[in-house]
C-alpha cells in the first residue's frame, strides 16, 4: 500500500478502508460523526465504514448533504456534532460531503457565521488550528477534496464561495478505488471530467510551482487515458485506480490556483445548485483554454503542447475540440443551453465570476465582456 505525505497523509490502495480505525486512534478521534449523503448510505457504503470503525461507540451519522453543500446543511450537521459530543469527522462521499465536512469542522469550533470565513471576505486569517480533525474517504474520483485545503459552499445569501485554509486539509485521506465501483456511469463521467479540468486549469495557472505542474500533468495523463474505460467498464480496477489518482493529483496541484473555468462554474452553481460542477467544467473548458492560449505565460512555457503531450494528442491538435469530443463520447452535455442557462442569467453569472477567488489566478485577466464571450461560446 502506498502511503503518501504531500499536503496530508494519503492511504491509497484497494482495501485501504481497513486502516480507518487505526487512523481514528492516530488522530485521537473517539466519537466520530460520519458526514455523508443519502445515496452513499443507500449504496451500503456506510455499513462498510461502520465495520471498519471496529464497533467504536458514540458514532453519529449525518446523511443530509445536498448535491451542492450549503450553509443550512452546515448548521444542521454542526448541531448534530455538538449534541453528540463528537470530536472528529469521517467524511464519506464525493466532494459535496467532504466539503460539507470541512464547513462543519470549522463552524463547530469557531464563532461567527460561515460567510466571515470566506476567502472573498478575507476570512482565511480567521481560520485556526482549532478546526476539528477530518478523515476523508472519497467515493467518487473528481474533486480531490480529500487532499484539498478548501471547501466550496453556498452561503445563505446565495453566493457560492471558497473557504480556504491549510487548517481545513483533512488530517487523513483514505483512497480506496473499490469504493467507486458502484458509481453510476453519468457520475463517473462527470466527476472524471472534473478531475481532468482541475489538472488542466491548475497547470495553466501562472503561479510558480513546478512540483504542482508535474503532478497536474501526470494526473491529466492518467485521467485522460482512463476516463472512457472507467465509465464504460465500471469494475475495471486499473481504470478506477487511475481515475482516483487523477482526482487526488488535481487537488494536490490546485493549491497553485485555478481560473475562469472555476470562477464561472462556481457562479453557475450558486445560481442553480442542481447543476453538476464537473459537467459545467467540461463544458466551459474549451472556450477558456482558447481564451488563455494568447497569454504570455502559456505561450512562453509552451503549456498547450505540454498538455497535448500528456493527453496523447499531436502538438497541433485543438485541445478544446478534443475535450468536447470526449464529453460527447461520455454522454455528457456539451452546451450550457442544454442545462437551462440563458443569456438573461449572464449578468448574475458574471458578477459572481468576477468576485470568485479563482478569477484572480487565471493566466489572462478576464473582463466582464470576456466573460460574456466565454459564456456565448459555451452555450
Mean pLDDT of 153-159: 91
Q: What is the value of pTM for the model shown?
A: 0.92
End of a domain among 151, 179, 207?
179
Q: Specify whether 242 is located in the same domain as 141.
A: no
Distance CA 30, CA 90 (A): 11
Tell me the pLDDT band of 254, cut-offs 50, 70 and 90: confident
Instruction: CATH number of the domain at 141, please.
Output: 3.40.50.1970
Strand-pair partners of 62: 35
Rg (CA), the chain: 19
Q: Which domain holds residue 355?
A: 184-377
C-alpha grid cell, residue 154: 453556498
Is the model's pLDDT at 328 over the cut of 80?
yes
End of a domain among 134, 149, 179?
179
Q: Specify whether 224 is located in the same domain as 367.
A: yes
Tell me the pLDDT band of 5, cut-offs 50, 70 and 90: low
Cα–Cα distance list, 65 to 22, 193, 295 (Å): 26, 22, 39
Q: Specify whether 55 is located in the same domain as 140.
A: yes
Number of domains within the chain? 2
Mean pLDDT of 140-164: 91
C-alpha grid cell, residue 77: 450537521
Q: Specify whether 236 is located in the same domain as 163.
A: no
Tell me the pLDDT band of 55, cut-offs 50, 70 and 90: confident
Mean pLDDT of 165-175: 95
Is the model's pLDDT at 3 over the cut of 60?
no
Tell me the pLDDT band of 265, cut-offs 50, 70 and 90: very high
Is the model's pLDDT at 62 over the cut of 90?
yes
Q: Specify whether 313 is located in the same domain as 214.
A: yes
Tell me the pLDDT band of 206, cut-offs 50, 70 and 90: very high
Q: Specify whether 195 is located in the same domain as 326.
A: yes
Q: Cα–chain-centroid distance for residue 331?
A: 21
Average pLDDT along the chain:
94
For residue 136, give the H/E element and its range: strand 134-138
Segment 91-119, tens digit of pLDDT: 999 999 999 999 999 999 999 999 999 98
Distance CA 265, CA 240 (A): 25
Instruction: CATH number of the domain at 286, please.
Output: 1.20.1090.10
End of a domain among 146, 179, 212?
179
Segment 333-346, tens digit of pLDDT: 999 999 999 999 99
Is the model's pLDDT at 1 over the cut of 80?
no
Amino acid at each position: 500500500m502506498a502511503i503518501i505525505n504531500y499536503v496530508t497523509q494519503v492511504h491509497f490502495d484497494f482495501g485501504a478502508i481497513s486502516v480507518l480505525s487505526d487512523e481514528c486512534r492516530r488522530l485521537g478521534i473517539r466519537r466520530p460523526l460520519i458526514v455523508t449523503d443519502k445515496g452513499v448510505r443507500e449504496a451500503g457504503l456506510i455499513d462498510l465504514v461502520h465495520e471498519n470503525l471496529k464497533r467504536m461507540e458514540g458514532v453519529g451519522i449525518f446523511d443530509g448533504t445536498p448535491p451542492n453543500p450549503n450553509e443550512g446543511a452546515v448548521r444542521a450537521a454542526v448541531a448534530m456534532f455538538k449534541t453528540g459530543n463528537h470530536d472528529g469527522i469521517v467524511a464519506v462521499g464525493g466532494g459535496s460531503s467532504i466539503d460539507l465536512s470541512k464547513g462543519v469542522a470549522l463552524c463547530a469550533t469557531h464563532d461567527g457565521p460561515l460567510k466571515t470565513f470566506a476567502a472573498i471576505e478575507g476570512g482565511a486569517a480567521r481560520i485556526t488550528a482549532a478546526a476539528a480533525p477530518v478523515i476523508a474517504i472519497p467515493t467518487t474520483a473528481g474533486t480531490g477534496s480529500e487532499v484539498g485545503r478548501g471547501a466550496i459552499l453556498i452561503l445563505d445569501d446565495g453566493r457560492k464561495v471558497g473557504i480556504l485554509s491549510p487548517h481545513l486539509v483533512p488530517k487523513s485521506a483514505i483512497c480506496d478505488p473499490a469504493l467507486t465501483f458502484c458509481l453510476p456511469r453519468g457520475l463517473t463521467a462527470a466527476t472524471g471530467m472534473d478531475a481532468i479540468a482541475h489538472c488542466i486549469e491548475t497547470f495553466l495557472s501562472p503561479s510558480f510551482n513546478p512540483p504542482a505542474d508535474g503532478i497536474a500533468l501526470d494526473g491529466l495523463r492518467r485521467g485522460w487515458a482512463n476516463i472512457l474505460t472507467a465509465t464504460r467498464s465500471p469494475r475495471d480496477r486499473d481504470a478506477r485506480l487511475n481515475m482516483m489518482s487523477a482526482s487526488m493529483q488535481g487537488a494536490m496541484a490546485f493549491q497553485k490556483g485555478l481560473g475562469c473555468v472555476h470562477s464561472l462554474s462556481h457562479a453557475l452553481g450558486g445560481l442553480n445548485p442542481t447543476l453538476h460542477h464537473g459537467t459545467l467544467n467540461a463544458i466551459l473548458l474549451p472556450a477558456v483554454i482558447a481564451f488563455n492560449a494568447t497569454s504570455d505565460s502559456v505561450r512562453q512555457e509552451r503549456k498547450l503542447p505540454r498538455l497535448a503531450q500528456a493527453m496523447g494528442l499531436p502538438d497541433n491538435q485543438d485541445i478544446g475540440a478534443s475535450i468536447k469530443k470526449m464529453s460527447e463520447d461520455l454522454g455528457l452535455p456539451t452546451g450550457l443551453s442544454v442545462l437551462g442557462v440563458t443569456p438573461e442569467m449572464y449578468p448574475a453569472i458574471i458578477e459572481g465570476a468576477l468576485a470568485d477567488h479563482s478569477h484572480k489566478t487565471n493566466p489572462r485577466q478576464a473582463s466582464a465582456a470576456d466573460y460574456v464571450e466565454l459564456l456565448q461560446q459555451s452555450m
